[in-house]
Amino acid sequence: MSHAQSPVCPPGRTLQIGRLAIWPPVLQAPMAGFTNLAFRQVVRDYGGVGLQFTEMVSAQGFAWLDQRGELPDRLWGVADEPRPLGVQIWDNDPRTLAVVGRRVVEEFGVDVIDINFGCPVQQVTEKARSGSYLLQDPGRVGAIVEQVVKACDPVPVTAKIRLGRHRGEMTACDVARAVESAGGAALTVHGRTARDLYRGEADWQLISEIKSHLRRIPLIGNGDLDSAEKVVAAFGRYDVDVVMIGRAALGRPWIFRQVQAALQGAPIPDDPEPDAERACLLRHYDLIVDRFGVEKGTMLMRRYACRYAQGRRGARQFRAHVAQVRAPADFHAVVDRYFPT
């Protein structure tokens, strides 16, 4: 456990996203294929997160399923889990997004609707012309936000973007102004372009420069925050109001608890002991299997298990072995071998 430091964000200083008060100013990022109810519950067990998000939900997919009286798997558990909670949606059609945003608000009573303008995956950008594809057209981004804000009122609507589609087209400042002018309640910026994917380092200086283009809404910085110390440094060096943690939390869901302590000026808790980390991994597995069944749940858990192994001795061998498991006994055997009690 590290020594206590001066508080960066005292508990009494909450952040407002529309009508929603948040503390600590640390958010769990929406991540497709990862941030389902099981993951959110594991994060919640450790505490320290100010606002959690679902996986991003296709508005077109939602509308198609809704006509058949069904709901997307990505909204599993949303109706009943603790708040605050946000749902992220994506598409390129303002009306579809507005209708689906309103349905999500009415059906689930969530606290925030976030619109994805940052996804760099080709299936979303090139095939669906959504996500980061829309960063080339700030006017369309604004039109989308405006319609969703009207549809979801009084629930706040936020947006998540990247710096631009590529280094020759850095449109984040224009998009930021469009989001705010359209009534957006907060803006999250990932410090890479779409073409960068996750290569190189997130550019926090460029994130910080966007703040001067916003008059009233908070700026949320995202990218490469993988320790409490980095979060404290980000608040000290850059002009951001909130931070969002994504990939670093996938195998270390306790990172939010560590960040909260650091922001309060309290000693930063150590990572869990190996037996506690093992128990966390197995609980995560049980939650997944309870929802999806043994076969599908075990397949889905492979990707999470590999994240838990990052940085551990024998991680490569663990990943190779866990990629082969198909049954609970096999999964437990691999975990027992690499996460001994």
Given 212, 238, 264, the domain boundary residue is 264
Task: Produce one character per residue of 144-165: b if its CB has 16 or more CB atoms within 10 Å, e if not.
Answer: bbbbbbebbeebbbbbbbbbbb
Number of folded domains in the chain? 2
Structure tokens at 155: 């629930």
Band of pLDDT at residue 313, cut at 50, 70 and 90: confident
| Claim to verify: residue 191 and residue 309 sit in the same structural domain | no
Q: Does residue 7 lie in a domain region?
A: no
Quick one: which of 200, 209, 234 has its CA closest to 26?
234
**Spatial distance between the Cα atoms of 243 and 222, rounded to a whole number of angstroms:** 6
Query: Which amino acid is located at 206 in the chain?
Result: L
Crossing angle of helices 328-338 and 315-322, in 10° steps, is 170
Helices (H), 182-254: 204-209, 228-237
DSSP letter (8 states) at residue 127:
I
Instruction: Please identify which residue in the block is written with the tokens 């969530």.
Output: 110
* Cis previous bond, 138, omega within 30: no
Query: What is the rounded average pLDDT of the residues 151-176?
Result: 97
Other Cβ atoms within 10 Å of 80 Cβ, number: 7
The answer as to whether 2 is a domain residue is: no
Q: How many CB atoms lie within 10 A of CB 106?
A: 11
Both 325 and 178 in one domain: the answer is no
Cβ count within 10 A of residue 64: 12
178 and 297 together in one domain:
no
What does the pLDDT average to over 189-205? 97
Q: Which of 201, 249, 312 is nearest to 34 (CA)?
A: 249
Residue 315 and residue 204 in one domain: no
Q: Active site includes 280? A: no
Q: CA nearest 78: which of 58, 47, 57?
A: 57
- Stretch 121-131: mean pLDDT: 95
- Any domain includes 3: no
Q: Which of 229, 264, 299 corresponds to the end of one domain?
A: 264
Question: 34-67: per-residue pLDDT in tens?
Answer: 999 999 999 999 999 999 999 999 999 999 998 8
Task: Kindly report the backbone phi and psi dihedral angles of residue 53, in degrees, each rounded to the nearest multiple of 5, phi listed first.
Answer: -125, 150
Q: Which pLDDT score is estimated for 341?
A: 74
Considering the chain, what percentage of its residues have pLDDT values greater than 90? 87
Question: Does 251 score more than 60 pLDDT?
Answer: yes
What the block records as the tokens of 53 is 């998000």
**pLDDT(3) > 90:** no
Q: Which stretch of 25-39, 69-83, 159-173, 298-312 has the lowest confidence by average pLDDT?
A: 298-312
**For residue 97, what is the domain's CATH number?**
3.20.20.70
| Same-domain status, 162 and 186 | yes
Residues 8-40: pLDDT tens digits? 665 556 889 999 999 999 999 999 999 999 999
Backbone angles phi, psi at 217, to 5 degrees: -100, 150
Residues 38 and 78 in one domain: yes
DSSP bridge partners of 222: 190, 244
Say what the pLDDT of residue 11 is. Answer: 57
Domain of residue 242 covers 15-264
pLDDT of res. 310: 85
Q: Please provide residue 48's backbone torsions phi and psi, each rounded to the nearest 5 degrees.
A: 95, 0
Residue ranges of the alpha helices (H) in 111-250?
Answer: 122, 138-152, 172-181, 204-209, 228-237
From the candidates 119, 152, 173, 280, give the one annotated as an active-site residue: 119
Task: Assess whether 290 and 234 both reside in one domain.
Answer: no
44, 260 contact by CB (below 8 A):
no
CB-based contact 72:58 (threshold 8 Å): yes
